């Protein structure tokens, strides 16, 4: 008794049995029914998706004794011969083994002869990309203008290797990978016809392992039947395929969200006793993280086998943030890529899992918002200086060389500052917020002093009347209140001139700093600060990032005010901090180049050697 594998025994015999390629089937069925057939067809796609099968069904439809139709009878002698591979007018050519031009010419020599039994002579060339360039050249003329009784059916897994001249002569159909659901449903149908018991979870594992190929999945099904003894269950299929069960991934994720390195090491050591493959474990972890990310967005995007499984995943999703999921996912991808470089795969697995926990930002016990607020409060503008009340009624004539101004943070440029050259004097500038005062003293004669005393005495009577007026008393009261409780004026605290200084002084994480450095000052109106940012940076300006930047600004000024960030198409060069640093770097590069060009000794050397200065080779040392 000879057993036939499932992939051959249950190969589709007509277009209705083809699974997962409805777009190709629809075009071929319409072409056959409407008698609009091309003379050359090219079927592309990965292995085991139905290229050769569809080509054989097409050959059967063209030569069925009942006539050209999309539904061949399957009972006539021609249909039976095609199914068994014995039809004389279906010439199947394996291009992988017949790559020489002599082989192609030998095949084409018989093209001119009429078919022996059928209506059309069909040439089915499999893996056509394996033909040599000479073979393609020999095929071109016949492929473009074949006899009326000839049809060419080409199949390949690598269409990029085909010459454009061949592609332009064919009607091309790309067969897509089959979905897990399509493969699992087809396997269930076949096992039911074979009277073999199975579990849906086991078929789902096999379908996933097939990676979109029906033939690969059916071969694994044959192996599962032999391995399990005619009862395909999930436990034995998992053992056969080395698939990591979801319970291990759920437990691993639960340990990761505890953010305890000791717990992670303890669990990985317990997994080592199960002899699980580290690569497979990381693959399953990546899949689980993707599933968690979808759950955080919308649970309807994920399909679960039962409500219990869904509940378990939802519980884990509540314990982890979307940011941690993305961080874990990226680290898992890098760990999976670098796994072959480790002396032992288990070491690479442990280090990858530890990296997920130890590389998280803000690892302390203090909550994120509290840490940022406390740090931001350290950076506040100095208060407006309060004028001292005069205890002595006598006044002196004074001259101020600088009006008191509101102190603002000074931008600490990352670029090198210029040191004074030899022989130059470097003057000290007065500190911001301080006023330099000169007392004007000059000898005054007694006669002049007496005249001044009389004038002052006469003025005191007028001043006394003004002081007693109700209007002046109200003004004095308002001034006293303003001096004791100065009002915060946002227009004075944030301006176009000091905006870059404020941004540079904000305490932010690197990922938030990378966005804040592109913010541009727009305007201040009625205690409201308006900022702008270019449209290309808008995807990175998430709601969470905006809240963090606003909290840093409010903490810096130690006041509460409104902040709004708008997007614009473009900004002026140097309007934001990144642009400012770029312009300063260009200026220093230009100054350095001019300094080299003005150097007499260097110019003499360049003239002697017929050399020149390469501008891009100059580097500014910012230390």
Give me the CATH number covering residue 150: 3.40.50.300
In a domain, 145, yes or no: yes
**Domain check: are 309 and 208 in the same one?**
no
* CA–CA distance, 604 with 611 (Å, rounded to integer): 10
Put residue 433 in one of left, alpha, beta given phi > 0 → left and psi -120 to 50 → alpha: left
Question: What are the CA-CA distances from residue 328 to residues 324, 351, 375, 568 (Å)?
Answer: 6, 13, 27, 34
Burial level of 185, CB count in 10 A (0-12/13-18/19+)?
A: middle
Model pLDDT, residue 104 = 83
In a domain, 363, yes or no: no
Residues 6 or more apart whose Cβ sits within 8 Å of residue 383: 486
* CA–CA distance, 26 with 15 (Å, rounded to integer): 9
CA dihedral (588, 589, 595, 601) positive or negative: positive
Which helix (H) or strand (E) segment holds residue 350: the answer is: helix 345-358
Model pLDDT, residue 426 = 44
**Domain check: are 17 and 161 in the same one?**
yes
CA dihedral (533, 536, 540, 543) positive or negative: positive
User: How does DSSP classify residue 178?
Assistant: P
Which token pair is 325?
A: 């999921």
* Alpha helices by DSSP H, 14-167: 22-33, 51-63, 77-84, 101-108, 133-144, 164-167
**Domain check: are 41 and 127 in the same one?**
yes
* Alpha helices by DSSP H, 109-245: 133-144, 164-167, 180-193, 200-210, 214-228, 234-241
* CA–CA distance, 607 with 611 (Å, rounded to integer): 7
Neighbours of 401 (CB within 10 A): 9
Residue with tokens 């393609």: 136
State which of 212, 241, 270 marks the end of a domain: 241
State which of 174, 200, 230 marks the end of a domain: 174
- CA angle in degrees (0–180, nearest 5) for 438-441-444: 160
Domain of 603, in residue numbers: 579-617
**Domain check: are 73 and 135 in the same one?**
yes
Which token pair is 581?
A: 């640093």
Model pLDDT, residue 54 = 93
In a domain, 457, yes or no: no
* CA–CA distance, 133 with 333 (Å, rounded to integer): 40
* CA–CA distance, 599 with 602 (Å, rounded to integer): 5
Model pLDDT, residue 396 = 40
State which of 199, 215, 241 marks the end of a domain: 241
In a domain, 231, yes or no: yes
**Domain check: are 154 and 200 in the same one?**
no
Which token pair is 350?
A: 């442990």
* CA–CA distance, 603 with 597 (Å, rounded to integer): 7
Find out whether 589 and 620 touch, Cβ atoms under 8 Å. yes
Model pLDDT, residue 439 = 38
SS3 category, 300: helix
* CA–CA distance, 154 with 52 (Å, rounded to integer): 9
**Domain check: are 39 and 170 in the same one?**
yes
Find out whether 215 and 206 touch, Cβ atoms under 8 Å. no
Find out whether 596 and 590 touch, Cβ atoms under 8 Å. no
Find out whether 256 and 328 touch, Cβ atoms under 8 Å. yes
**Domain check: are 153 and 231 in the same one?**
no
Model pLDDT, residue 473 = 55
In a domain, 435, yes or no: no
The DSSP line for 545-556 is HHHHHHHHHHHH
* CA–CA distance, 599 with 30 (Å, rounded to integer): 82
CATH number at residue 195: 1.10.8.60
**Domain check: are 277 and 136 in the same one?**
no
Model pLDDT, residue 486 = 52
Model pLDDT, residue 143 = 87
Burial level of 152, CB count in 10 A (0-12/13-18/19+)?
A: buried
**Domain check: are 350 and 254 in the same one?**
yes
**Domain check: are 230 and 280 in the same one?**
no
Number of domains in the chain: 4
Residue with tokens 């360039």: 133
Find out whether 620 and 416 touch, Cβ atoms under 8 Å. yes
> With b meaning 16 or more CB within 10 Å and e meaning fewer, what string describes 593-617?
eeeeeeeeeeeeeeeeeeeeeeeee
In a domain, 476, yes or no: no
* CA–CA distance, 589 with 619 (Å, rounded to integer): 7
CATH number at residue 262: 1.20.272.10
The DSSP line for 115-145 is PSSSSSEEEEEETGGGS-HHHHHHHHHHHHS
Residues 6 or more apart whose Cβ sits within 8 Å of residue 151: 37, 39, 40, 41, 59, 62, 120, 121, 122, 123
Model pLDDT, residue 457 = 52
Which token pair is 223?
A: 């192996």
**Domain check: are 86 and 160 in the same one?**
yes
**Domain check: are 157 and 134 in the same one?**
yes
In a domain, 446, yes or no: no
Find out whether 18 and 53 touch, Cβ atoms under 8 Å. yes
Find out whether 201 and 184 touch, Cβ atoms under 8 Å. no
In a domain, 48, yes or no: yes
Mean pLDDT by 10 residues, the chain (623 residues): 81 91 92 90 92 92 90 90 89 83 83 88 90 86 88 91 90 91 92 90 89 92 87 85 82 89 89 82 92 89 78 87 92 93 91 90 47 41 41 42 42 43 43 40 51 51 50 50 54 80 86 86 84 85 86 80 85 83 82 79 79 70 54
CA dihedral (267, 271, 272, 278) positive or negative: negative
Put residue 468 in one of left, alpha, beta given phi > 0 → left and psi -120 to 50 → alpha: alpha
Model pLDDT, residue 394 = 44
CA dihedral (267, 269, 273, 277) positive or negative: positive
């Amino acid at each position: 008794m000879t057993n036939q594998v499932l992939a051959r025994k249950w190969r589709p015999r007509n277009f209705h049995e083809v699974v997962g390629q409805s777009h190709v089937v629809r075009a071929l069925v319409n072409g056959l029914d409407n008698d609009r057939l091309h003379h050359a067809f090219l079927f592309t796609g990965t292995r085991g998706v139905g290229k050769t099968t569809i080509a054989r069904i097409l050959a059967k439809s063209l030569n069925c004794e009942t006539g050209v139709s999309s539904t061949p009878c399957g009972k006539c002698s021609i249909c039976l011969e095609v199914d068994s591979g014995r039809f004389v007018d279906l010439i199947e050519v394996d291009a992988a083994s017949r790559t020489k031009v002599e082989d192609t010419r030998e095949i084409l020599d018989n093209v001119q002869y009429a078919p022996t039994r059928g209506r059309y002579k069909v040439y089915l060339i499999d893996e056509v990309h394996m033909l040599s360039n000479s073979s393609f050249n020999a095929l071109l003329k016949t492929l473009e203008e074949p006899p009326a009784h000839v049809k060419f059916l080409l199949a390949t897994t690598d269409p990029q290797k085909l010459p454009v001249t061949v592609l332009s002569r064919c009607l091309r159909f790309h067969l897509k990978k089959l979905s897990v659901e399509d493969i699992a449903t087809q396997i269930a149908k076949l096992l039911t016809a074979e009277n073999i018991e199975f579990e849906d979870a086991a078929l789902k594992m096999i379908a996933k392992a097939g990676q979109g190929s029906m033939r690969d999945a059916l071969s694994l099904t044959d192996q599962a039947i032999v391995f399990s003894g005619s009862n395909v269950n999930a436990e034995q299929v998992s053992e056969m395929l080395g698939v990591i069960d979801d319970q291990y991934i759920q437990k691993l994720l639960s340990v990761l969200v505890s953010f305890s390195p000791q717990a992670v090491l303890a669990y990985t050591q317990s997994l080592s006793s199960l002899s699980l493959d580290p690569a497979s474990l990381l693959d399953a972890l990546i899949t689980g993280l993707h599933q968690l990310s979808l759950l955080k967005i919308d649970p309807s995007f994920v399909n679960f086998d039962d409500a219990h499984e869904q509940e378990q995943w939802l519980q884990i999703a509540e314990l982890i943030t979307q940011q941690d999921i993305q961080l874990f996912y990226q680290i898992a991808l890098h760990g999976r890529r670098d796994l072959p470089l480790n002396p032992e795969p288990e070491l690479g697995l442990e280090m990858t899992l530890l990296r997920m926990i130890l590389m998280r930002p803000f690892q302390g016990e203090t909550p994120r918002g509290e840490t940022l607020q406390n740090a931001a409060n350290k950076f506040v503008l100095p208060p407006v200086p309060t004028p001292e009340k005069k205890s002595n009624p006598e006044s002196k004539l004074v001259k101020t060389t600088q009006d008191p101004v509101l102190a603002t943070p000074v931008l600490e440029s990352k670029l090198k500052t210029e040191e004074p050259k030899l022989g130059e004097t470097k003057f000290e500038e007065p500190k911001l917020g301080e006023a330099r005062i000169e007392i004007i003293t000059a000898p005054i004669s007694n006669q002049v002093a007496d005249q001044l005393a009389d004038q002052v005495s006469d003025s005191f009577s007028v001043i006394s009347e003004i002081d007693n007026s109700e209007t002046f008393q109200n003004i004095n009261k308002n001034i006293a209140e303003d001096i004791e409780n100065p009002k915060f004026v946002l227009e004075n605290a944030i301006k176009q001139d000091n905006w870059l200084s404020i941004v540079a002084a904000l305490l932010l994480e690197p990922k938030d700093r990378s966005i804040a450095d592109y913010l541009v000052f727009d305007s201040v109106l009625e205690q409201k600060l308006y900022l702008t940012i270019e449209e290309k940076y808008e995807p990175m300006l998430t709601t969470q990032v905006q809240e963090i930047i606003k909290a840093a600004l409010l903490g810096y000024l130690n006041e509460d005010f409104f902040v709004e960030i708008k997007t614009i198409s473009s900004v002026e060069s140097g309007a934001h901090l990144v642009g400012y640093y770029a312009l300063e770097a260009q200026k220093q590069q230009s100054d350095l180049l001019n300094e080299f060009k003005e150097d007499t000794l260097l110019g003499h050397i360049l003239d002697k050697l017929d050399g020149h200065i390469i501008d891009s080779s100059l580097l500014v040392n910012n230390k």
